[in-house]
């Protein structure tokens, strides 16, 4: 890790592992993008900005300044001064004129990485910041009196480059920020693909790859949350790039609200990547002396395909983003009552589930939606966070005490950002909901969103949650958010500041969760939004795990979890075994396969255990044992995608390898059975080629112990054999069948 200034060449060089990022100061102090890629360390690389290619340098050809501005590879592009590609910044002056041009003023190289006040952000592990460096480039628009600080940080153990921007109004009049993205990155990529994650409710984050073409290709959200539909991620990659080879440039937004991520191919075939807060509905009034800070973007380059990109993201998020004490701790195996009972439960029913679950080794009962106000249907009382004593006589302390007396922990569901029209809260404070006066607000799941830009609302919401948590020993909270925004108006903000509501809402949400984890430092917080709508790096700063999707079908989960694990460590993915036929797709899959798939996440159950067959309850006991045995590896290891059902339409296979390569766990799911085939060769990844691995086939049978395949000399293989030769797996009979295989280095017997 290194950041250096090459004065003679006017270059800033950032080195992060094998990756190099170079910024150049061109004539007339334009800040240009020189290079992002595998380390080259050549001081002549400034030529890559092409400023010497006449007639494009304004000082030499002012009459064609536009040609310069429209092709210059900018580090932070601005609108209205000749760069017709999409820009990061568009500012309107108090007089109503739009246009901005930034010129370099100076730099600072700092030890560590400054916090971004009020925003989630990656951080140094070391208190004195010895494991990080930050470059700050100060730029200015003299006419507007606007200072812009471009920030770039690197960490000692990562190849990512983290970017954000800070804007300060140093003038005497307000400035109107109509668009403030975090970063742009210009590159040459005439032949490439764009990779995004897209979906919908119950099928979040499916990988979508398409050719880059002239014009703008964008994914975005202006739903008030990062969303089910698009994900704040964008990568461009060479046509030949795949899992283990080729170049990938990726950007991921550490933010939970509106975003845009765009790839624009210009007239000369260069590509500009842009990422930041979606400008739709956005306008921030920057008063004199005030500052606006953008959320940060993580930029990753890989020359070894998606696999390496994934490792960089996983390690960065584990080492520098997730703060929870649970990050490296075993999460309790939980059972959640939502799919078991929906709203129809009481203390006795919950205790019945808890007793049976405890017998089988489950460690925590989570009471989901429906425990408060008069909430027996979706229309019921969000906002009235008082325990419904008709369902829970004796209140929460009584229930929690009984659950804990069984030797289990207790967790609870909230949806604190919402209000139902029928609630006492809404009757008392209709102005607390986000809405446009005179308009009937649009309902979604029969509810409205609370205006978190309003401090008294934040206070009410916080106290509602904290009061319950103070009333009983509650170990876990599932924080849900079940609708997207419409009628984006706040009577509180007034006419001039309506364009700030989306972002102020997200800041209010972050403030709430920050307070929560400060007051309850031992709480295990799991974020959730109608399934996996707000699964983003911003939320990970507050909670170590996020509910991946309401779709718990093992086969649907293959694609959802493949897309999610492209960026997120397995330890962050909320995954449970649920009942069959699956409540969303109606599919029936083997209990064993449901367990293997959920084991690639935080693991738990979402079913009425009292209604299971004895045989299935035995399988739970087996799965619990497996979870205890393999969890540390799944949580801390390196994840490898071996095969993708999405691509081959036949089978899925992933692998987790310990950092020291001493053990590995392989999960294989054969989706549909096929007749008359020989065995399937699976080439493993990430092993030590020289190590000798003992192979155990994990067999889970009801009424049997978990069988470990016999380990004869035949079942000891060299890493090289397993990676280059391959493992022959027999074809499995029956649909949705699966296998789990454990490898351990014989030199380090565990």
Interface residues with ligand GLA (CB under 6 A) are 338, 368-369, 413, 480, 482, 528, 530-531, 547, 550
| 560: three-class secondary structure by DSSP | helix
Residue among 277, 208, 335, 310 at smallest CA distance from 646: 208
d(CA 21, CA 598): 38
Among residues 369, 550, 551, 745, which one is catalytic? 550
d(CA 54, CA 655): 52
**Cβ–Cβ < 8 Å for 281, 502:** yes
Q: Nearer to ligand GLA by C-beta: 271 or 481?
A: 481
In the beta sheet, which residues pair with residue 13? 4, 22
In the beta sheet, which residues pair with residue 181? 276
DSSP string, 573-632: EE--EE-SS-TTT-----HHHHHHHHTTTT-EEES-GGGS-HHHHHHHHHHHHHHHHHHH
d(CA 313, CA 298): 9
Instruction: Give the position of tokens 């996996």.
Output: 532
Q: Count CB atoms within 10 A of the CB of residue 242.
A: 14
Contacts 24+ apart (CB under 8 A), 389-393: 391/345, 391/346, 391/347, 392/346, 392/347, 393/346, 393/347
652 is catalytic: no
- State the alpha helices, DSSP H only, in 294-346: 305-320, 338-341
Q: Nearer to ligand GLA by C-beta: 318 or 375?
A: 375
- What is the closest distance, in whole angstroms, from the C-beta atom of residue 547 to ligand GLA in the complex? 6
Q: Nearer to ligand GLA by C-beta: 380 or 563?
A: 380
d(CA 4, CA 67): 31
Q: Nearer to ligand GLA by C-beta: 228 or 694?
A: 228
**Cβ–Cβ < 8 Å for 650, 535:** no
Q: Nearer to ligand GLA by C-beta: 302 or 549?
A: 549
In the beta sheet, which residues pair with residue 619? none
Q: Nearer to ligand GLA by C-beta: 311 or 375?
A: 375
- What is the closest distance, in whole angstroms, from the C-beta atom of residue 244 to ligand GLA in the complex? 35
Query: Any residues with CB less than 8 A from the CB of 741 and at least 6 apart, and which?
Result: 665, 666, 668, 695, 696, 697, 698, 727
Q: Nearer to ligand GLA by C-beta: 236 or 546?
A: 546
Nearest 5°: the CA angle 124, 126, 129 is 65
Q: Nearer to ligand GLA by C-beta: 369 or 562?
A: 369
550 is catalytic: yes
> What tokens appear for 384 in the block?
């009235």
- What is the closest distance, in whole angstroms, from the C-beta atom of residue 396 to ligand GLA in the complex? 18
Active site residues: 480, 550
């Amino acid at each position: 890790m290194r950041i250096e200034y090459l004065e003679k060449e006017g270059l800033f060089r950032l080195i992060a592992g094998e990756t190099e990022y170079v910024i150049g100061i061109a004539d007339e102090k334009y800040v240009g993008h020189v290079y992002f890629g595998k380390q080259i360390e050549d001081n002549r690389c400034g030529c890559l900005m092409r400023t010497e290619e006449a007639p494009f340098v304004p000082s030499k050809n002012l009459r064609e300044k536009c040609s310069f501005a429209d092709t210059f590879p900018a580090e932070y592009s601005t609108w209205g001064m000749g760069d017709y590609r999409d820009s990061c910044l568009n500012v309107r002056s108090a007089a109503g004129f739009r246009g901005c041009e930034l010129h370099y003023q100076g730099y600072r190289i700092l030890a560590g990485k400054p916090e971004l006040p009020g925003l989630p952000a990656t951080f140094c592990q070391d208190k004195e910041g010895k494991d990080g460096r930050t470059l700050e480039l100060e730029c200015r628009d003299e006419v507007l009196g606007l200072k812009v600080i471009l920030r770039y940080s690197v960490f000692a153990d990562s190849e990512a480059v983290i970017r954000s921007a800070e804007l300060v109004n140093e003038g005497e009049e307000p400035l109107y920020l109509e668009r403030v993205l975090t970063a742009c990155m210009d590159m040459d990529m005439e032949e490439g693909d764009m990779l995004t994650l897209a979906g919908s409710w119950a099928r979040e984050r499916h990988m979508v790859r398409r050719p880059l073409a002239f014009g703008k290709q964008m994914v975005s959200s202006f739903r008030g949350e990062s969303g089910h539909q698009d994900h704040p991620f964008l990568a461009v990659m060479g046509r030949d790039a795949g899992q283990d080879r080729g170049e990938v440039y990726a950007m991921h937004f550490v933010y939970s609200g509106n975003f845009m991520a765009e790839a624009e191919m210009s007239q000369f075939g260069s590509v500009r990547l842009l990422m930041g807060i979606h400008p739709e509905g956005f306008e921030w009034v920057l008063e004199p002396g005030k500052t606006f800070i953008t959320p940060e973007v993580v930029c990753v380059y890989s020359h070894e395909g998606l696999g390496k990109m994934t490792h960089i993201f996983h390690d960065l998020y584990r080492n520098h983003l997730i703060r929870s004490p649970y990050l490296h701790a075993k999460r309790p195996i939980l059972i959640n009552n939502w799919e078991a009972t929906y709203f129809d439960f009481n203390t006795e029913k919950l205790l019945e589930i808890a007793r049976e679950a405890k017998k089988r080794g489950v460690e925590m009962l989570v009471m989901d939606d429906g425990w408060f106000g008069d909430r027996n249907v979706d229309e019921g009382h969000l906002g009235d966070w008082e325990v419904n004593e008709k369902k829970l006589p004796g209140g929460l302390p009584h229930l929690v005490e009984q659950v804990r007396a069984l030797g289990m922990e207790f967790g609870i569901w909230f949806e604190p950002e919402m209000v139902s029209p029928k609630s006492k809260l809404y009757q008392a404070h209709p102005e607390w909901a986000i809405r446009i006066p005179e308009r009937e607000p649009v309902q979604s799941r029969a509810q409205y969103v609370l205006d978190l830009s309003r401090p008294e609302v934040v206070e009410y919401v916080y106290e509602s949650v904290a009061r319950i948590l103070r009333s009983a020993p509650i170990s876990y909270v599932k924080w849900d958010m079940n609708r997207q925004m419409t009628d984006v108006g706040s009577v509180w903000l007034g006419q001039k500041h309506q364009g700030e509501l989306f972002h102020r809402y997200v800041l209010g949400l972050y403030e709430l969760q920050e307070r929560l984890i400060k007051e309850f430092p031992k709480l295990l917080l799991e974020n959730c939004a109608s399934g996996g709508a707000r699964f983003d790096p911003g939320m990970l700063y507050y909670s170590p795990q996020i509910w991946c999707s309401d779709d718990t079908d093992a086969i649907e989960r293959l694609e959802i979890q493949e897309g999610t694990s492209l960026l997120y460590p397995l330890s962050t993915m909320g995954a449970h075994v649920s009942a069959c036929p699956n409540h969303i797709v109606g599919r029936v899959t083997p209990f064993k396969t449901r367990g293997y798939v959920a084991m690639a996440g935080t693991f738990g159950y979402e079913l009425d255990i009292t209604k299971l067959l004895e045989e299935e309850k035995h399988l739970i006991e087996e799965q619990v044992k497996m979870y205890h045995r393999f969890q540390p590896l799944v949580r801390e290891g390196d994840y490898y995608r071996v095969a993708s059902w999405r691509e081959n339409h036949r089978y899925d296979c992933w692998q987790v390898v310990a950092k020291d390569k001493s053990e590995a766990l392989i999960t294989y799911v054969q989706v549909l059975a096929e007749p008359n085939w020989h065995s399937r060769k699976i080439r493993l990844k990430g092993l030590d080629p020289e190590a000798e691995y003992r192979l155990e086939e994990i067999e889970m049978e009801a009424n049997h112990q978990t069988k470990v395949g016999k380990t004869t000399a035949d079942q000891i293989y060299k890493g090289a054999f397993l990676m280059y030769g391959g493992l022959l797996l027999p074809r499995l009979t029956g649909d949705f069948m699966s296998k789990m295989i454990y490898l351990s280095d014989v030199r380090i017997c565990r």
